[in-house]
Structure 1
Amino acid sequence: MSAASTAAAPGRKQLRRRLIAPASFVALLVAVSLAASGLLDSGRLLHLATSTAGEVRHLPPSGRLGGGEAAGDEQGGRIPRIIHQNYLGGAEALASAALQPKSHFRKEWWRSCQTHHPCWDYVLWDEAACEALLAGRYPWFLPTWRAYNTTVLKSDAIRPFILHAHGGLYLDLDTECLADAGPALEGADIVLMAEVGGPGPGQKIRRVRLRAR
């Protein structure tokens, strides 16, 4: 698996450059904090509808999720309590795909992330929601995104935009959560994770960032 990071859009305050690599999960986890609360646009968080009960909890129509709480303690919590996953076909298609014998993910895996994070908001992004986000916040990228000819490319490309817009955690659908991520995120602005047994977590991205200085 590979880790992804985000950069602030032109004219926006840059995210603080701090990389940490706790070992709470065994799969990709990317967490981004909007260090200044003003970066959250009040009323812009999406309501995502689903006909599959219990799969998606609706986000409140406010930039202050969960009373404005962030992961971590009172002295250092920065990362909004939101878990993001995406499946462009939507919740019903995802539930159906998870039942296939050769599926790379299972319903109990993403439900484990909801179970271990009961106070976090959970969002499953479908294609319509991704289009709405790009059209409203990043219209310059929308033609490029529409031109991608596979769902994999579209899914990969939308992640940094979701995190830049809302902050929180992005988890691939083949991620199984074994514990609450909150304690590992205390005081962090950006968290990059990698597979156990792979190269050091975030090392490739870290080297690129160091060379760019």
Structure 2
Amino acid sequence: MASSLVSSKEAQALGNGGQGSVCQVVHQTAPSDRSRWDPRWERCRQSWQKVCPSPEFVHVLWDDDGLRSLVEEAFPEYLEVYDRYEQHIQRVDFARAAMLYLHGGLYVDMDVEALGNPFPHLPSGKVSVVGSPYTQNERHQNSMMASPAGHPFWRAMADEAVRRRSTPGVYKTTWQLTGPQMLDAVVDARPQDVHVLPTGKFNPAMQSPHFTAPHVITRHFCTSVWTHTMDINGMLLYQAVQAGDYEQVEQAASAGADLECRDYAGLAPAHHAALRGDARMVRLLAVLRADLGSRDKNATTPLHYAVQVSKIEVVQALLEHRVDTQGRLLEGSAA
């Protein structure tokens, strides 16, 4: 995998190459250990090579060492902070800012499939991000972002990530520290810098009818790329819960999937079933002996989430299985 890239000057000369334009480079990142690759990633990679063909476009796959070198070059004063992040996904999130600051172009997660070429939709001089359909967690996705090289938005993003890490007790989850919720804050602070790509065409929700619509340009399979507690069976279980595929959930469990596997936000399958309002899935997970009282990094249980999003059927399903109704979040509130 790549640990270096064409220079910013060379990248800027590719494609349209105008001042402030988004150079025609497609960046992706993946774990060095290919046993952690989801089976769909290769198909998604090939989709980008098809809609953005070489030599007009440059495709670069960054590995762990390459990501660290990006941070060392772009933000050397923050390299020590980068090395101290507890979760690998946090380092990956941080390195995306360095990647686009140094080289510009388009960053996409490995599980984003291209059905059309998004580059005509990326305005010059702007940072482009995708609106999120999962608004209970975030308003913008960091799974697909683009800009010209040297855009100050990315330095602001690195600064905000460092500020959050140095504010003890306030920002606890990856989502808040380096992920989409942190991105939301930078977008809010610099709205003049940002063009938001509509979620109806870019990365619509998997359960949405837009997901398979002919006008969709990209779609995101949400495989939790850098999660540190899932093997392949865990990924299949997680994806099946997200998609409401009960048969696939049973198959993944039979294959040995860990029912307590966590995504990079610290959520277990039961949390996601509650957030989706899927009472049938909650009951199925209970039959499979999942822990319906499991807690995420903020001590939030599936019951907390069901109450927060007013999913009464899920609350009833959880109460049928005698979940703890007195469990408290870190700040002290109960469900």
The structure with the largest helix share of the pair is 2
**Cα deviation code 1:30-86 (max 9, x no counterpart):** xxxxxxxxxxxxxxxxx926xxxxxxxx84467313x803458x7x87001111111
TM-score (norm 2): 0.37
Q: Secondary structure of 2:76's partner?
A: coil
Q: Secondary structure at the match of 1:84?
A: strand
Q: Does 1:164 align with 2:101?
A: yes
Distance in 2, Cα, partners of 1:131 & 1:186: 29
Residue 189 of structure 2 corresponds to 208
The answer for unaligned runs of 5 or more in structure 1 is 1-46, 50-57
Contact 1:70/1:77 (<8 A) preserved = no
Rounded Cα–Cα distance in structure 2 between residues aligned with 1:163 and 1:61? 12
Can you list the C-alpha shifts for 1:104-162, whole angstroms capped at 9, x where unaligned?
x5210122112111121111111111222222332111111111121111111111111
Query: Contact 2:24–2:58 (CA<8 Å) still a contact in 1?
Result: yes
Gaps of 5+ in 2: 142-182, 193-335
Question: Match of 2:13?
Answer: 68
| Match runs of 1:1-213 below 5 Å | 48=2, 59-60=5-6, 63-65=9-11, 68-70=13-15, 78-87=21-30, 89-90=31-32, 93-94=33-34, 96-99=35-38, 105-118=40-53, 119-196=56-133, 198=135, 204=184, 206-209=187-190
- 1:187 CA drift (Å): 3.2
State the alpha-carbon separation in 2 of the partners of residues 152 and 201 from structure 1: 17
Given residue 189 of structure 2, which amino acid in structure 1 is its aligned partner? V
Distance 2:16 2:132 in 1: 22
- State the secondary structure of the residue aligned to 2:44: helix
Contact 1:134 / 1:142 at 8 angstroms: preserved in 2? yes
User: In the superposition, relative to structure 1, how do residues 209 and 137 fare at CA in structure 2: closer, same or farther (>3 Å)?
Assistant: closer
**Secondary structure in 2 matching 1:69:** coil
CA gap 1:143/1:71 in 2 versus in 1, 3 angstroms: same
Asked if structure 2 preserves the Cα contact closer than 8 Å seen for 1:193 and 1:201, the reply is yes
Structure with more contact order per residue of length (Cα contacts < 8 Å, sep ≥ 6): 1
Rounded to whole Å, the distance in 2 between the matches of 1:130 and 1:157 is 9
CA contact (8 A) 1:71 1:183 kept: no
Kept in 1: contact 2:8–2:102 (CA 8 A): no
What's the TM-score once normalised by structure 1's chain length?
0.56
- In structure 2, the partner of 1:30 is none
CA contact (8 A) 1:78 1:187 kept: yes
* Displacement of 1:169: 0.7
Percent of residue pairs identical: 23
The separation in 2 between residues aligned to 1:79 and 1:127, in whole angstroms, is 25
Structure 1 residues 128 and 148, CA, compared in 2 at 3 Å: closer, same or farther? Answer: same
Residues of 1 paired with 2:129 and 2:23: CA distance? 16
Larger Rg: 2
Q: Aligned partners of 1:190 and 1:115: how far apart in 2?
A: 24
What CA distance in whole angstroms lies between the structure 1 residues aligned with 2:128 and 2:111?
Answer: 18
C-alpha change, 1:207 and 1:178, in structure 2 (3 Å) is same
1-structure distance, mates of 2:41, 2:70: 27
